[in-house]
Structure 1
Amino acid sequence: MPHLDVEGAQLYYETDSHISSPALLLIHAGIANLRMWDPQVPTLAENHFVIRFDTRGYGQTTTEDVEFSNRADALDLLDHLGIQKATLIGCARGGGIAIDLAVENPDRVAGLLTIGSGPSGFPETELTSEEDDLFDQLDAAFEAGDWNTLYDLEVRLWCIGPTRNEADLDPDFVAAAYELNRMNIAHVDDRPVPIPLEPPAYDRLVDIAVPTFVMVGEQDLSAALTQYEYLLSTIPGADGATFRDSAHIPSVERPDIFELLLTGWLARHKL
């Protein structure tokens, strides 16, 4: 399987379709890995060169405990594949990386789509009581070194959502969400140190000049909902969409609706 050697790491990546087609770079959430995009890849690959990779600390990528830049890793992969410009599609943490990359290297970005993401440098927001309780449980599991519980609690917080009952959701989605995060437990001892974008993207969003689509699940955390409104109101000409019955990863929970919105947006902007 393909790996790219970069400074202090081997990045695992996958590509689909032909390099002559418009490029899409898919960046996974912090509670998942590149497998989260499996439902969309066959359709996207009909008209695009689809690139996805596991960022450091996730999936099948291996890393040393070194300082690194998520933006540089993404650019190194594009350079390795001979791609000058790509449309970035990022979920949650992956969307934050995509925003940073669009701000820092606008010449490499054709379009930007984020899901449940916020820009670097976004001010902390006050938690709801339900969110505060779940974060306390996460902290307790971390202090106890109970990694299985910790990783499952992350799914409970982000994917199920602080106000929803797991038993009310599609069991196939629930199983997929837990599996996507459990695959990352193997990286629990990884300690790479990401180099932040300076200055952060928070005050630089007005400089984004490519077609942008901002998405969020209405059952996501309150911070993600606030960040969605900020992105939508600050990035010039940004489109927006909310998923009524979804939390942090609507592309996994509502794949058909997400795919319809994504492919329509790509076609409309000729990306």
Structure 2
Amino acid sequence: MPAVRLADGDLNYLLEGPATAPVLVLSNSLGTDLHMWDAQIPAFTQHFQVLRYDTRGHGASLVSEGPYSIEQNGRDVLALLDALDIAKAHFCGLSMGGLIGQWLGINAPERIERLVLCNTAAKIGTPEVWNPRIETVLAGGAQAMRDLRNASISRWFTADFAGANPGKVEPIVGMLAQTSPEGYAANCAAVRDADFREQLGAIRAPTLIVCGSGDLVTTTENGRFMQERIAGAELVEFYAAHLSNVQAGDEFSQRVLDFLRA
């Protein structure tokens, strides 16, 4: 796959779709890689040039020394856009990717056309949640990541979906098992430290907030909090847990396309 050389390593990306179409950036969740969006690519590339990438610490991208910050991850996106000579793009991020989207909407509004914030919150979790996970992963290494993989199924998917769709679930949770423990822990710190609750009003891009009715990590209530503070924001809720793009599939893709093409 192609990569952009950052100051401290390579950022892995894929650029697909018509070269003359508007650009849509897709940003992965914590513990996945750019392939978490595979189900969306056939629909999205009919209308957009889709740029997806592995966030620092994930997939085939660099694993630099942590902890990371959401600002650091956001600046990686800007460096990627600069390297590809993309002045402005739509942005769709899920969970950690949604935090990156919030940072971009607040701090680089001139680069963002429309913003889709999926299964995310202005603040996700507390240090009491994140610090033990960071310690466990750094101490346990690859085995700890495999253990997290098993625990993630119930967070990422509703039980009925997971039971009926192992062919969709297994490749996604397999990404977590393959994620660098150091990269994962460094990004856990980025998520832990991010708090945009007082800055959401600065977002001016047209925004769609996507929630899952069964998402216990970033709830619909978290989504409504963002909607109330981002002028004109729309909100949609699917029957899904944390990875609504996988569980809601075609329905998710169509709603996002309707918003982006409005």
* Range into which the TM-score falls when normalised by the shorter chain: 0.7 to 0.9
Aligned Cα RMSD in Å? 3.1
Q: Corresponding residue for 1:115?
A: 118
- SS at the partner of 2:205? coil
More helix by share: 2
Q: Does 1:188 align with 2:191?
A: no
Q: Which of 231, 250, 254 is the aligned partner of 1:256?
A: 250
* Correspondence 1:96 to 2:91: no
Cα separation, 2, equivalents of 1:217 and 1:109? 24
Question: Equivalent residues in 2 for 1:120-139 (5 A)?
Answer: 122=123, 124=125
CA distance in 2, matches of 1:61, 1:123: 24
Q: Give the letter aligned to residue 30 of structure 2.
A: G
Q: How many residues are paired up?
A: 254
Tell me the equivalent position of 1:51: 51
Q: Of the candidates 158, 162, 172, which is equivalent to residue 155 of structure 2?
A: 158
Return closer, same or farther for 1:247/1:137 CA change in 2, 3 Å cut-off.
Answer: farther
The answer on whether the counterparts of 1:155 and 1:177 sit within 8 Å (CA) in structure 2 is: no
Work out whether residues 57 and 63 of structure 1, in 8 Å CA contact, stay in contact via their aligned partners in 2.
yes
Aligned to 1:20: 20
Further displaced range: 215-224 or 93-102: 215-224
Counterparts of 1:188 and 1:199, CA distance in 2: 20
Q: Of 85, 88, 91, which aligns to 1:85?
A: 88
Question: 1:56, 1:192 within 8 Å by CA — same for their partners in 2?
Answer: no
State how far apart, in whole Å, the 2-side matches of 1:123 and 1:89 are: 18
Any idea what SS the aligned residue of 1:38 has?
helix
**1:141–1:150 contact (8 Å) kept in structure 2:** no
Q: Which moved more, 1:143-152 or 1:42-51?
A: 143-152
Cα 1:42/1:72, change in 2 over 3 Å = same
Unmatched 5+ stretches in structure 2: none
Q: Give the counterpart letter for 2:242 in structure 1.
A: H
Question: Rg bigger for which structure?
Answer: 1
CA separation in 1, counterparts of 2:194 and 2:61? 28
Paired residue secondary structure (1:202): coil
Q: 1:200-239 maps to which residues of 2 (within 5 A)?
A: 200-221=195-216, 223-239=218-234
Q: Percent identity?
A: 24
1:203 shift after superposition: 1.2
User: Please, what TM-score do these two structures have when normalized by structure 2?
Assistant: 0.85
The structural deviation recorded for 1:234 is 1.3
| CA distances 1:73-120 after superposition (whole Å, capped 9, x unpaired) | 00000011111111110011101111111100101000100111112x
